[in-house]
Structure formats: C-alpha cells, structure tokens
C-alpha cells in the first residue's frame, strides 16, 4: 500500500506540468465566453462575503464571536468548506467527463482529481486574499499563525484527494455517486461547525462532532486567522485527523487503482 | 533543452531485429454484468463470486512486430482491430496473455481525441504533447515542425472548434508524428485528409521506416496496405486469421469477403418473401405503399439520404438485382446487374429524365447516366402513373464500398427542373476475387508468349 502511494505520488510529480496545464484550462474554461472573464472568480466570493456581512452584522446584529465580527469568523470557517465542496462536486464526474481522453489516448487518469484540486485552489487563493483584506479592515492583527493556513490547506487537499479518487472512480460505474456527493455536501455543511460554534452543543455531542475530519480543518482555519492557536495545541485531534486522512487517501487510491483498468471498458 | 529531444530516440537502434511489439495469446473478454454494482464488487473484491456473461473481443491473439516494420491490420467492422490497437497502446487491459511493447507509442486512434474544441490549436498541441509525456521544452523544440507539417496557417491560434475536419486531422497527425515516437499507431484517421496531405503523411512514413520507427495501422484501403506495409494481420471475430506478407494477407481478406458475401446472399434469398400477386387488385395508394415497403425489405437504405425536389414526381422504389432477379447489395465484380428505379407522377409530366449516379465513399462521382444522355424519350406520364426504368450494366468497379443516388427531373420550358432527387440512397459493396489498381477494373486479359530467345 505504501509502495503504491509512493508510486502514485511519483506519477503526479512526473505529470506536474500536465496537471498544472489542465488546471489552468479548467479555470479558463469556466469563464470562456463570459464578458468579465476571470473577474468572476473575484466577484463570487466578494458578493458572498458582502451578503454575509449585510445579513449578519447589519441585519441580524449578530453579536461578535469571541470578540471577532461574525462575518470574519464565518468567512474563515466557510472558506475551507467551499474549497472542499468545490473539489468534491467538481471531481466526482471528472473521469466520466474525460471519456475521450481515457478511451482514445494513453492518459494517466489518476491525475484528474489533482487537476480539479489545483483548479479549485486558484479560487481559494482569491478567497484568501479577500479574507486577509477583511481582517485588516476590521483591525485584526496579522500574526505568524497565519502561516498555518498552508498546513491546514494541505490537510484539506490530501483528505479531499482521497475522497475524490474514490468518488470519481466509483462514479464511472454508478452515476448515483454524483447525487450522493451532492447530498453529502449539503448535510456536511450543517453538521460541521461552520455557521455555529461547537461550544453550543452538549459535551457528548461535541465529542461525536469532533470525529468529523472537516471539523479539524474548519477549526484550524479559524485558529490560524482568528484565535492564533497552533495546531500542536491539540495533538490528539491532529493525530486523529492524520490517521483518518491517510486511511482515506490510501483507500481512495486503492479503489481508483483497482477500478482504473475497467474505465475504458465501461465508458 | 537541446534540439536532440526531437530526434528519434535510439533506445534500440543497432540491436537489429528486436521485436517492438510482442503479443502472446492475448485475449480480451468483456464481462457483461446484470447489474452495474456487480462490476464494482468484482473489481474491488475479486474473491466474491459475481455472475456475468463473457464477450470475447479478442481471442488468443499472438503476434510479433519487429522494430522498424510497417504493419497493417485488416478485417471487417467489428473484427477486433480497434480493440487490438487499444490493447497494444495500453488503453485497454488484456484479460489474458502477455503483452510487451518496447519504446514510446504515439497513437492516433481517433481524429483529434484529446483536443478541446474551445482552445486554440497551439494550446491543444501543447496539451497533446503533455499527454504523450513531453515536457514544455520538448514541445517547444518540436513546435515549428508541427506547425509547418499541419500547414493550417493562422488557424493555429484559433479555437479548434472553428476547424474543418481536414484541418483537425492535419493538426492531430502533425502532433502524433512530430513527437518522434518509437512506435506509431494509426487507426483509420488518415482517410479524412485530402490527397495532398495524405501524400505528405506517407512521405513521413517512408522517412520513419528509414529511421526504424515501427508503424502499425488499420485501414480499409487494401491499396495502402499493399503499398506501404511489409506485413499484415487479418482479424476476424477476434481471432488472428492470417499473418504474413501484406499481399498474401490482402488476398486472403478478399477471398474471405467474396465467400462470405456468397453465403450471405444465399441466406437472404431464402428469407425473401414470395412476391405478392394481389398487388394489382389493391387500390393504387395502398399498392404504392406495399410497393415501397417491399423495396425497403429487400435493401438496406441510408437513413441519412439527401432528398429534395419539387415533388411533381416521386421515386418510390429502387433496387439492384442480379441476372436471376435476386436483390443484391453486394455485387461481384464483372457480373451483370439491373439497377431499377420506379417513379410515380404526381402531376401530368412530359418526358421526365431518370438518372442514377454511383459515388465512392469520398463522394467522388464514378459513373452514372440517365435517359436523356441515352436519347430515350420517356414520353408523357399521367398523374398517378408509374414508370419503371431498368439500367442494365456490367459492374467494373474495383472492390470497395459505394453510394448510389437516384434522380428524376425534366426540362420544362427550357429549364431544368428537379422533381425528386434521392442522393446517397443506398450503399453497395463490390467484391472481387482479384486486386486491382485504381477505380475500375476493365477485365484485362494478360497474354504471355515467349517469341524465341534474343541473344
């Protein structure tokens, strides 16, 4: 299994130019034919944050979370979820969408989920810029803890890579997976403490909710941008996350590897 | 990066006759499952006993292609040619047997597979190169070659979706051959390009042959096989039927086609319903319908025929019959056939012209004539009257597939008016027991003599 994982990582490394090239196409494809083009990448998150700010800070007069304006708190937690949702909804059908390449060329289909991840990271980077702007605007000091963003982003990418491999491969055979992922994303959004704080839940439920690997990441983003807490402060949670993450990664890769030889037969 | 990344890799030049491609008892079985979920269970948990049926696409195929050879693969549609190529490329996994391929493969299995229509030719070239495993620098080094070979001018910087199919194939082909593969695999794609481009491709083939590049290609053109291939393989129903010098295999293929068409025609003749006698007693409209229907039962028509005309007359039935009156769509070279068409007048007509044309698959008119060219006066037709025309002729076309078109028109007050044209209405196949060069084979008789010895 470890050998397989290493071999796959090597394959990704070897094809990095292709992955980046395809990711770039993926991003430009979204905006070809539109007048504003790449500007839309900014407009989406900007409008979203503006709406949050208006609804929660101006409209509901939500009280600040731990002395941080709700909109900042929400954006920091929402950012990783958006990335996750974008990767999952985009990659579940990505193998099927590239039928032509798989059937008619010698194409390393393993790279498709990473392509989607790379493309999603472009939007994520813009979101990051907007969040940093928001932090400065609210007078929140920036600290070295911000750099943890890269750590948590990597966590998220590896975790979703495992899932994306699994779902995109299974989806070749049963297209229901697309719908299952869609529903799971909806449910996941509400059972992950994004819109609400974990502290409002009773202790037993808190424990269950912490089993959700996405909790670790959402919390981590807030730790980096708002609470200025290091990931080493919750070693147990970290150890748990990495166990789950590596299992998902290895499992996803295993499933993809096993099903890949049949892609061309089925598509 | 130095320019020699674009020169042929010399992995095994000098080793002489190493096999570039070696297949040992390759089989490809498609498993047909009752439910999709069974397929997943079978793939993930091989131990689980899942029910499935087997479909053999390739069975027990063993073959060797020496390095530097140009080899053709022939066979009828569905014989497993494309599956074989996909297995050799590594796109499909064989179900059994061993496969060894030495060297980098560049494959052109489908016209512009891997081209994204929204992107420019240039972007697609880089993308295609990357799929073939080339770095950006390596493609940079080949790019001018690719561009000049494709010869599509400024279109290189326009989206591929604006290309004609000819430009498409040129660019795809230019990429496939200019990345300097060790093994080049081409499936049919060449037939799309124009003659000039084809000539350029075959010049490149010659160059490749000298450089020791192995070429494998599938085509229905026996002409190309005998011209460019040293060896050929004949596939039929997934089995390798023949392997050997190209000419022998092409002969075997032609023999196979003739034999099969004979048995097929015999079977069709048996299945043919007995001619209906009551036709005359039915009312005219119903009789016409029955008439048309009968014609449809006897022949396979092209659903994409190109039909137009003002409808003053209608072509209601066409057919090709041999001398015994049996319907035929597979014709034997050199035999006499009747091409029959029936036209019904919807209005009173004067001297309608009835015509037919035979084209090759590329749309080139090969032969055809009409009642006007033959100075035949068809006379007056009253509305509702049916006129039957029989064009009897000896088929001298070479073996191949052809399209036949029919038409009915007339000169009205000096102007040529089309009543009904049914272009490309039927396909017909001509089979021949011998090979021939060109478009028609005029039954040449060859006489040999030895008039003494000259000293």
pLDDT tens-digit map of B135-151: 788 888 888 888 888 88
What pLDDT score was predicted for residue A166?
Answer: 94
B202 CB within 8 Å of a chain A CB: no
B82 CB within 8 Å of a chain A CB: no
Of A100, A262, A266, the CB nearest to B114: A100
Of A18, A100, A258, the CB nearest to B113: A100
What pLDDT score was predicted for residue B279?
Answer: 42
Tell the CATH topology of B16-104+181-186+212-271. Answer: Rossmann fold (3.40.50)
Number of domains comprising chain A: 1
Q: How far is A124 from chain B (nearest CA, A)?
A: 24
pLDDT tens-digit map of A26-39: 888 777 777 777 77
**Which of B28, B33, B36, B40 has the highest number of chain A CBs within 10 A, making it the mutation to test binding with A?**
B40
CA distance linking residue A160 with residue A244, whole number of Å:
11
Of A18, A106, A259, the CB nearest to B105: A106
Interchain proximity A105–B131, CB inside 8 Å = yes
Longest Cα–Cα distance of chain A, Å, equals 58
Phi, psi of B33 (to 5 degrees): -95, 155
Report the 10 Å Cβ neighbour count for B203.
Answer: 10
Task: Give DSSP secondary structure letters for chain A.
Answer: -HHHHHHHHHHHHHTHHHHHHHHHHHHHHHHTT-SSTTHHHHHHHHHHHHHHIIIIIIIS-PPPBTTB-HHHHHHHHHHHHHHHHHHHHHHTTHHHHTHHHHHHS---GGGHHHHHHHHHHHHHHHHHHHHHHHHHHTTPPP-GGGGHHHHHHHHHHHHHHHHHHHHHHHHHH-THHHHHHHHHHHHHHHHSTTSS-GGGS-HHHHHHHHTSHHHHHHHHHHIIIII---GGG-HHHHHHHHHHHHHHHHHHHHHHHHHHHHHHHH-
Q: How far is B240 from chain A (nearest CA, A)?
A: 21
Which residues share a beta bridge with B412?
B415
pLDDT tens-digit map of A194-244: 888 888 888 888 888 889 999 999 999 999 988 888 888 889 999 999 999
pLDDT tens-digit map of A93-128: 999 988 888 888 778 889 999 999 999 998 899 889
Of B30, B110, B123, the CB nearest to A104: B110
Interchain proximity A17–B135, CB inside 8 Å = yes
Q: B68-82 b/e with 16+ CB inside 10 Å = b?
A: bbbbbbbbbeebbbb
Query: What are the boundaries of each domain within chain B?
Result: 16-104+181-186+212-271, 281-431
Interchain proximity B40–A100, CB inside 8 Å = no
Q: Among residues of chain A, what percentage have pLDDT more than 70?
A: 98
Of A17, A18, A105, the CB nearest to B107: A105
B58 CB within 8 Å of a chain A CB: no
Rounded alpha-carbon distances, angstroms, from residue B77 to A177, A195, B82, B330: 35, 60, 9, 16
Interchain proximity B127–A104, CB inside 8 Å = no
Interchain proximity B44–A18, CB inside 8 Å = no
Q: Can you tell me whether residue B277 is helix, strand or coil?
A: coil
Q: How far is B201 from chain A (nearest CA, A)?
A: 20
ipTM score:
0.71
Q: What is the dihedral of CA B214, B218, B222, B227, to 10 degrees?
A: -20
Interchain proximity B131–A262, CB inside 8 Å = no
Rounded alpha-carbon distances, angstroms, from residue A88 to A250, B79, B146, B200: 17, 40, 38, 47
Of A22, A25, A103, the CB nearest to B91: A103
Interchain proximity B40–A170, CB inside 8 Å = yes
Greater model confidence, A80 or B282:
A80
Q: What is the CATH number of domain B281-431?
A: 2.70.50.60
What pLDDT score was predicted for residue B136?
Answer: 83
What pLDDT score was predicted for residue B289?
Answer: 62
Q: Which domain holds residue A26?
A: 2-266
pLDDT tens-digit map of A56-78: 777 777 777 667 788 888 888 98
* Residue B180 C-beta-side C-alpha neighbours within 13 Å: 17
The residue whose two tokens read 């073996």 is B399
Count interface pairs A-B at CB distance under 8 A.
Answer: 72
- Per-residue pLDDT in tens (0 to 9) along chain B, 455 residues: 333 333 333 343 444 456 888 888 888 888 888 777 787 777 777 777 777 888 888 888 888 888 888 899 988 877 888 888 888 888 888 888 888 888 888 887 776 677 888 788 888 888 888 887 787 888 888 888 888 888 888 888 888 888 887 788 888 888 888 877 888 888 876 665 566 777 777 788 888 888 888 988 888 777 778 778 889 999 888 888 888 888 888 888 877 877 776 676 666 666 655 444 444 445 556 655 665 666 666 777 777 778 888 889 999 889 999 888 888 888 888 889 999 999 999 999 999 999 999 988 767 788 889 998 888 888 899 988 999 999 999 999 988 888 899 999 998 888 888 999 998 888 888 888 777 888 888 888 899 988 887 76
Task: Give DSSP secondary structure letters for B340-372.
Answer: EEEEEESS-EES-EEEEEEEETT--EEEEEETT
CA distance linking residue B389 with residue B392, whole number of Å:
10
B51 sits in which H/E element: none
Interchain proximity A265–B92, CB inside 8 Å = yes
Greater model confidence, B256 or A154:
A154
Where does residue B443 fall: left (phi above 0), alpha (psi -120 to 50 degrees), or beta otherwise?
A: left
B130 CB within 8 Å of a chain A CB: yes
What pLDDT score was predicted for residue B293?
Answer: 61
CA distance linking residue B336 with residue B130, whole number of Å:
56
Interchain proximity A104–B43, CB inside 8 Å = no
B5 CB within 8 Å of a chain A CB: no
**DSSP assignment, residue B79?**
S
Of B114, B118, B127, the CB nearest to A32: B118
Q: Closest residue of B to A21, CA-based?
A: B127
Interface list for chain A against chain B, based on CB atoms closer than 8 Å: 15, 17-18, 21-22, 25, 29, 32, 100-107, 170, 173-174, 255, 258-259, 261-262, 264-266
CA distance linking residue A110 with residue A118, whole number of Å:
14
Of B40, B91, B119, the CB nearest to A106: B91
Residues with Cβ within 8 Å of B394's Cβ and at least 6 positions away in sequence, in order, are: B334, B335, B336, B337
Interchain proximity B113–A105, CB inside 8 Å = yes
What pLDDT score was predicted for residue B15?
Answer: 44
Task: Give DSSP secondary structure letters for B3-50.
Answer: GGGGSPP-TTTTS-S-EEEEEEEEEEEEEEESSHHHHHHHHH-TTS--
Q: How far is B75 from chain A (nearest CA, A)?
A: 20
What pLDDT score was predicted for residue B31?
Answer: 80
Q: What is the dihedral of CA B76, B82, B85, B90, to 10 degrees?
A: -150
Q: A133-169 b/e with 16+ CB inside 10 Å = b?
A: ebbeeeebeeeebeebbeebbebbbebbbbbbbbbbb
Rounded alpha-carbon distances, angstroms, from residue A96 to A266, B80, B260: 10, 24, 39
Of A101, A173, A265, the CB nearest to B114: A101
Q: How far is A153 from chain B (nearest CA, A)?
A: 28
Q: Closest residue of A to B114, CA-based?
A: A101
Q: Closest residue of A to B31, CA-based?
A: A265
CA distance linking residue B385 with residue B217, whole number of Å:
53
B89 CB within 8 Å of a chain A CB: yes
CA distance linking residue B156 with residue B161, whole number of Å:
12
Rounded alpha-carbon distances, angstroms, from residue B99 to B25, B112, B252: 9, 26, 26
Are B143 and B175 in contact by the 8 Å Cβ rule? The answer is: no
Interchain proximity A17–B136, CB inside 8 Å = yes
What pLDDT score was predicted for residue B10?
Answer: 39
Task: Give DSSP secondary structure letters for A70-120.
Answer: HHHHHHHHHHHHHHHHHHHHHHTTHHHHTHHHHHHS---GGGHHHHHHHHH
pTM, rounded to two decimals: 0.67
- For chain A, give the mean pLDDT: 87
């Amino acid at each position: 299994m470890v050998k397989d994982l290493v071999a796959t990582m090597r394959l990704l490394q070897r094809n990095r130019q292709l992955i980046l090239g395809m990711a770039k196409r993926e991003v430009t494809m979204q905006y070809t034919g539109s007048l504003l083009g790449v500007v839309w990448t900014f407009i989406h998150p900007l409008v979203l944050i503006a709406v949050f700010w208006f609804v929660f800070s101006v409209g509901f007069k939500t009280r600040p979370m731990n002395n941080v304006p709700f909109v900042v708190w929400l954006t920091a937690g929402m950012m990783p979820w958006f990335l996750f949702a974008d990767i999952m909804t985009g990659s579940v059908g990505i193998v099927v969408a590239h039928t032509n390449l798989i059937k008619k060329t010698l194409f390393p289909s393993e790279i498709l989920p990473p392509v989607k991840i790379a493309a999603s990271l472009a939007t994520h980077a813009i979101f990051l810029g907007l969040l940093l702007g928001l932090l400065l605007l609210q007078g929140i000091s920036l600290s070295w803890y911000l750099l943890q963003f890269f750590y948590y982003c990597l966590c998220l990418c590896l975790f979703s890579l495992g899932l994306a491999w699994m779902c995109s491969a299974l989806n070749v055979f049963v297209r229901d997976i697309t719908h299952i992922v869609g529903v799971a994303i909806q449910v996941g959004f509400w059972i992950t403490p994004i819109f609400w704080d974990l502290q409002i839940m009773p202790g037993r439920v808190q424990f269950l909710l912490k089993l959700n690997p996405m909790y670790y990441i959402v919390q981590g983003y807030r730790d980096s941008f708002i609470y200025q807490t290091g990931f080493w402060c919750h070693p147990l949670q970290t150890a748990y996350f990495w166990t789950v993450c590596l299992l998902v990664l290895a499992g996803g890769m295993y499933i993809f590897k096993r099903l890949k030889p049949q892609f061309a037969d089925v598509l | 990066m130095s320019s020699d990344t674009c020169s042929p890799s010399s992995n095994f030049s000098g080793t002489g006759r190493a096999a570039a491609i070696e297949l040992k008892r390759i089989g490809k079985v498609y498993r047909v499952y009752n439910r999709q979920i069974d397929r997943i269970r079978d793939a993930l948990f091989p131990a689980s006993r899942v029910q499935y049926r087997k479909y053999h696409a390739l069975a027990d195929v063993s073959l060797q292609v020496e390095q530097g050879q140009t080899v053709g693969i022939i066979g009828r549609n569905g014989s497993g040619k494309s599956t074989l190529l996909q297995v050799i490329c590594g796109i499909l996994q064989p179900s059994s047997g061993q496969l060894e391929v030495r060297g980098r493969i560049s494959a052109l299995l489908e016209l512009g597979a891997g081209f994204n229509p929204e992107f420019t030719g240039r972007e697609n070239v880089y993308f295609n190169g990357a799929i073939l495993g080339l770095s950006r620098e390596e493609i940079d080094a080949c790019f001018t070659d690719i561009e000049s070979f494709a010869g599509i001018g400024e279109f290189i910087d326009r989206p591929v979706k604006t290309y004609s199919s000819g430009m498409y194939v040129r660019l795809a082909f230019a990429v496939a051959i200019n990345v300097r593969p060790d093994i080049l695999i081409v499936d049919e794609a060449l037939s799309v390009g124009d003659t000039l481009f084809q000539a350029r491709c075959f010049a490149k083939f010659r160059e490749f042959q000298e450089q020791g590049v192995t070429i494998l290609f599938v085509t229905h053109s026996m002409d190309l096989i005998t011209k460019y291939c040293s060896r050929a393989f004949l596939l039929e129903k997934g089995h390798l039927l023949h392997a050997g010098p190209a000419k022998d295999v092409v002969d075997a293929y032609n023999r196979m086609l003739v034999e099969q068409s004979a048995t097929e025609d015999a079977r069709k003749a048996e299945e043919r319903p007995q001619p209906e006698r009551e036709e005359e007693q039915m009312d005219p409209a119903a009789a016409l319908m029955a008439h048309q229907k009968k014609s449809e039962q006897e022949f396979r028509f092209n659903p994409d025929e190109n039909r137009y005309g003002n409808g003053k007359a209608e072509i209601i039935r066409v057919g090709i019959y041999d001398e015994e009156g049996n319907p035929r769509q597979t014709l034997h070279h050199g035999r006499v056939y009747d091409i029959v068409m029936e036209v019904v007048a919807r209005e009173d007509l004067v001297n309608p012209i009835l015509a037919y044309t035979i084209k090759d698959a590329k749309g080139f008119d090969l032969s055809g004539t009409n009642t006007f060219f033959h100075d035949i006066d068809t006379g007056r037709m009253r509305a509702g009257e049916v006129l039957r025309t029989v064009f009897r002729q000896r088929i001298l076309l070479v073996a191949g597939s052809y399209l036949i078109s029919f038409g009915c028109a007339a000169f009205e007050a000096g102007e040529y008016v089309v009543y009904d044209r049914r272009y490309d209405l039927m396909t017909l196949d001509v089979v021949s027991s011998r090979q021939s060069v060109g478009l028609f084979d005029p039954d040449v008789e060859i006489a040999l003599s030895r008039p003494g010895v000259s000293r």
